[in-house]
Amino acid sequence: MFNFTRRQALLAGAAGLIAGTLPLSRLSFAQSGDTLTIAYNVNLPSFDPTVGVSAVNPTIQAIYRSIFDQYIGQKPDLSFEPGLLTDWGWNDDKTQIWMDVREGVKWHDGSDFGPQDVVWSLERAGREDSGNPIQFIWSTIGNFQVDGNRITADVLRFEPTIFMWMAFLTGYVLPKAYYEKVGAEGFERHPVGTGPYMFDAYEGNAFLRLKANPHYWGSKPDFETVVFKFVPDATTRVAEIESGSSDITLEIPYEEYDRLVAKDGLDGVTTPVSDIAMLFINNVGPMLDRNVRLAAHHAIDKQAIVDRLLSGYGVPIDTLEAPQYAAFDETIKVGYDPDKAKALLAASGYSPENPVKFTIQTTRGFKPKDYEMIQAIVGMWRRVGIEAEIEVYEVAKHFELRAADQLAPVAFYNWGNAIGDPTTSTGFAMFGPSPHSVWDTDDLDAKIGPLWGEKDEAKRIQGWKDVSRYIAENGYVIPLIQYVQPIVFREGLKVTPNVSGALQPTLVRKG
């Protein structure tokens, strides 16, 4: 069983901060073949990739992966590869894990990396007072032993995704000696990792400048300098790339993407990413009525939203499992059927003349056309007998309300799951005790609970498929689309799109 304390809920409920405006007049970075300037869509609140709200913000991982290395690496197609661990696994009865640590790695300060850093990082992450929002994952292993470059640890509570998390949020190795010397404040002033780039300069809400690590153990980056300009406004990001002030940007309106890639000197790439646009349903008020929940789902024409609002960039979806996820089941369908929606509402006494009423919360500008999507959905609902009032909030407010289980009856969110496991999509989003869930009923919890500790992998995945079908049949959440990420860049660059959505500088090469 997956057990969460109230403290864990408060730590993990917030998953990111979108902050600041960019004083472009203060920035003047020389454009050269050795510098890559990225107009980035979020700010960086903290340099420690293992604690606090920023640690579980998927969008920031591209920055963290530039400075730090993870225990286990992940390719752009989401498959796993060696990182600071070269090999790993379980013993036969899964009561222990083992990890082989890479040799010959240097920290940015020139000191040697070794098994002691891995053990210290894992023990720190698993402490209740660590501030790590995924502490309940890292605390499942302990009693570490080191023999040369091999580390073994006891399984204190079986967690089938422990190695996946080593390539995911908060799964970074930090320098034991350096961190203990300078402390948390010193680390924020000058972070040290083993990653492909080293810290050079930072101005909050404005920019981060990195320099290539000359001693990096992996492939040498193409660019000597990388500058992340923090540009939360999409219109300004468009201006950055169009004016040549930045070399590359992402997450802009799709119509602007089409316009820009048609211009001389610019190019672009799009790819479906592991992010799903969804509507959380809170089990309060009218949403306790199954007919209302299912009617709200059947009334949404997802393909029309993709075609008319997203310029065709998007994949309609009916579960919280995207096609790249391990538990995706293409046979689970809900479908657009406004007549069925009307009939369901009529069975509960509602109609266009006597609509059911509730509030729907949404961000505005966090993802391309998020607010416009909700406007369109509210219009579709109105035609079948649902009257929804739109409330706009910042994504940080969403995290705050979600952690406290105080979201409106319906709330928009973008769910990212870069490791593709059902626990980190359907599990965290829908299991009542999870700090990320607002739907909490005994029937669903009883189906999900046993899957957390299921050691038979085939049975575990089939169990999550069965849960996804049950959720769809009861309307406990409304998945909308799998996002397609737009990236625009200057001609002469080669960009490898990342299904995780992380625009890592190492995935950008000179042409």
Task: Give one DSSP letter per residue of 326-365, joined into a string.
Answer: TT--TT------HHHHHHHHHHTT--SSS-EEEEEEE-SS
C-beta contacts of 98-104 below 8 A and 24+ residues apart = 98/150, 98/151, 98/152, 98/153, 99/71, 99/150, 99/151, 99/152, 99/153, 100/149, 100/150, 100/151, 101/149, 101/150, 101/151, 102/149, 102/217, 103/149, 104/217
Say if residue 284 is in the same domain as residue 162.
no
Q: Is residue 314 part of a domain?
A: yes
8 Å CB contact between 74 and 81: yes
pLDDT of residue 324: 85
* Together in a domain, 148 and 284: no
**CATH number of the domain residue 152 falls in:** 3.90.76.10
**37 belongs to a structural domain:** no
Quick check: is 353 in a domain? yes
Answer whether residue 459 is part of any domain: yes
Per-residue confidence in pLDDT tens, the chain, 511 aa: 333 332 333 333 333 322 333 344 344 444 557 999 999 998 899 999 999 878 888 889 999 999 999 999 999 999 999 999 999 999 999 999 999 999 999 999 999 999 999 999 999 999 999 999 899 899 999 999 999 999 999 999 999 999 999 999 999 999 999 999 999 999 999 999 999 999 999 999 899 999 999 999 999 999 999 999 999 888 999 999 999 999 999 999 899 999 999 999 999 999 999 999 999 999 999 999 999 999 999 999 999 999 999 999 999 999 999 988 999 999 999 999 999 999 999 999 999 999 999 999 999 877 888 999 999 999 999 999 999 999 999 887 888 899 889 999 999 998 888 998 999 999 999 999 988 899 999 999 999 999 998 989 999 999 999 999 999 999 999 999 999 999 999 999 999 999 999 999 999 999 8
| DSSP designation for 408 | -
Residues 467 and 355 in one domain: yes
Q: Give the pLDDT score at 379.
A: 98
pTM: predicted TM-score of the whole model, two decimal places: 0.84
- For the chain, the domain total comes to 2
Among 176, 194, 220, which residue terminates a domain?
176
In a domain, 50, yes or no: no
Q: Which residue range forms the structural domain that includes residue 161?
A: 69-176
Do 299 and 446 fall into the same domain?
Answer: yes
Cβ-contact 118, 136 below 8 angstroms: no
C-alpha radius of gyration, the chain, whole number = 23
In the block, which residue shows the tokens 């505005």?
364
Picking from 134, 161, 176, the residue at the C-terminal end of a domain is 176
Q: Are residues 277 and 406 in the same domain?
A: yes
Domain closes at, from 116, 147, 176? 176
